[in-house]
Amino acid sequence: MTTLSRLAEKGVLTQTRVAHQRAFEYRAAGSPTEFLAAASRDNANRMLEQFGDAALAAFAAQLEGLPKEQRDRLRKAAGHE
């Protein structure tokens, strides 16, 4: 129960009280794709906070090595079409 409550506090799960009971019902707050996108943003932000420009340089170096089609998909996924 502690784990479920903590995941609900973090927004990974939704928590709904079951009528006429002391129980809760837990459900995923979003799709697996939405979860991965949010987790990726959080991890990238932590990397930037910890390493600053060095993290950006490492990300840029990785992007340069990708095929154009994959870079285009990443731009679209990031909302920079």
Contact criterion met (CB below 8 Å) for 29 and 11: yes
Q: What are the pLDDT digits (tens) for 12-66?
A: 999 999 999 989 999 999 998 888 888 898 999 999 999 999 999 999 999 999 9
Whether 4 and 38 share a structural domain = no
pLDDT of residue 79: 79
Print the domain residue range for 2. Answer: 1-29
Whether 73 and 46 share a structural domain = yes
Whether 17 and 2 share a structural domain = yes
Instruction: Enter the pTM of the model.
Output: 0.62
Between vectors from CA 48 to CA 44 and to CA 54, what angle results, nearest 5°? 115
